[in-house]
Amino acid sequence: MDRNLTPSNPSALFALPPMQGGGRATESLLSYLVRLARAHQIDARRLVRYTVWPALPLDGAGLAISFYREDARTVNGIGRYAYAFTQALERLTSVQGLEGLTFQAWKGVIPEIGAGFLAKEVRWCPACLAEQRQQRVDSHFPLVWSLDAYRVCTRHHRPLQHLCPWCGKRQQLIPHYPDQARCTHCCGYLAPASTLQTQENIQEADLRRAHSLESMIATPEGKIMPTHPQLMAILQTAAERWTEGEKKKLSLMLGLSDRAIGGWANKQQKPAFSQLLQIADKLDLTLHQLFTQPLPDQAPSSASPVPAKGKPRPAAQLSKASLESRLRQQLDAPNTAEPVSRILKRIGVTRSYAKYWFPELLAQLAHKHQQSQQQATAERQIEDVERVGRVFRNIAATGDYPSIRRMSQALRPYRLSLQREPLWNAYKKLRERFCDMDNRGRIR
């Protein structure tokens, strides 16, 4: 990669087109960065460290290890890293409009530093990834998956996942291996093909909120850039229409503290993202509609009081004894090792309630699931090593030398890489045997 741009070499990196389309279809800037590394067949972090980071318009900012652990998630957001990475990647690739892969259009109404906006961990819809693989398109993570409040996929009606189905670990924000659909720890595929057939019941309220969040990523022709004065004008209109101009009453009507709207107006403060989302929910509008459509004629109903927190209580339809019986049945069931969260969801109790009464049972179920995942990972590793052997022999049978390059090309359709230590060790042993090949070309 040439870092010095010249008229004959207008871009240092490939002009890779992003996956766009608006809403659920638009990929995130982090996803684009990983796909860019994959297009160049290099480690995604090496691309960041040696090519992208030196091009960032940041004054005296060195690349710290904490960036990969925490700050990388803000590349998809509205802050300085979102702006800097957008500018650098547009310059390096000559691809314009990459700010559409972030939430920078909403920086006028969302505080740059605030809780509840961007998720702290990588999450994905297994069915979406399996569908991408089935359609033979590059694996990519939509931008909307990076929002903390986005919990369910509106296409497949499934909750997003955050743990590898094979090793049970969380994923790195910027992986070494340039494919987000692969676990950054065990390299297992995050979405087995069987996930396309799985169906789960999703609450209607969760789907409405997910659609509202998807509306933030509008198509190019429907793009908006909300501002703080625009939001204040909308709320002022609502106050004049429903509460005779009293902001305190409007705040309570929208389920906020009585001084929330007044504080935003007087101190020029931006609402927390959760508050902005609550306003749209209360008005039965998506976030996009909040800034593009007239307010409804009828005032929203008053917010219901927040229930007081207390000790976890059993579900009305399930006694403590019944819960213990169900958990023990699950523990004793052969060839079954579901995640604890899925078991409790099917039973119909919260984790806090089950853990309050039966912490040992929950620990045993978690251990059983972990062992099952480890066994599945080991079996998958054996299968992958056997695949390397078959590919090696197929190349050798054609009379070609099974070089690293040929092996990598042949393994790519199977989403395998010799960068994985077990596969590399298997390849080295096969190559040593290949050097002792007899005159008939058969491996001893």
C-alpha distances in angstroms, 27 versus 24, 72, 134, 143, 300?
8, 16, 18, 5, 34
Q: Which residues contact 305 (CB under 8 A, 6 or more apart)?
A: none
pLDDT of residue 346: 82
pLDDT of residue 196: 64
Handedness of CA 38, 31, 119, 368 (dihedral sign): negative
The answer to whether 90 and 96 have CB atoms below 8 angstroms apart is: yes
pLDDT of residue 102: 95
According to DSSP, residue 50 is labeled I
Give the C-alpha separation, 116 to 349, whole Å: 25
Q: How far is CA 101 from the centre of its chain?
A: 13
Closest CA to 174 of 16, 1, 21, 53: 53
pLDDT of residue 197: 64
Mutual orientation of helices 359-397 and 421-435 as an angle, nearest 10°? Answer: 30
The angle subtended at Cα 271 by Cα 267 and Cα 276, nearest 5°, is 150
Question: DSSP letters along 237-288, please?
Answer: HHHHHHSTT-HHHHHHHTTS-TTHHHHHHHTTPPPPHHHHHHHHHHTT--HH
Q: Provide the residue type at 83 as one letter.
A: Y
Give the C-alpha separation, 53 to 33, whole Å: 12
Q: Which residues contact 171 (CB under 8 A, 6 or more apart)?
A: 121, 122, 162, 164, 180, 183, 184, 190
444 residues of the chain, pLDDT tens digit each: 444 444 444 679 999 999 987 778 899 999 999 999 999 999 999 999 999 999 999 876 688 888 998 899 999 999 999 999 999 999 999 999 999 999 999 999 999 887 889 999 999 999 999 999 989 999 999 999 999 999 999 998 889 999 999 999 999 999 999 999 999 999 999 987 666 666 677 889 999 999 999 999 977 667 889 999 999 999 999 999 999 999 999 999 999 999 999 999 888 899 999 999 999 999 999 999 999 999 988 888 764 444 444 444 444 446 778 888 888 888 888 766 788 888 888 888 888 878 878 888 888 888 888 888 888 888 888 988 999 899 998 888 888 888 888 888 888 888 888 888 888 998 888 888 887 654 445 444
Give the C-alpha separation, 411 to 339, whole Å: 31
CATH architecture group of domain 226-292? Orthogonal Bundle (1.10)
Q: Is the pTM of this model over 0.85?
A: no
- Per-domain residue ranges for the chain? 1-220, 226-292, 316-444
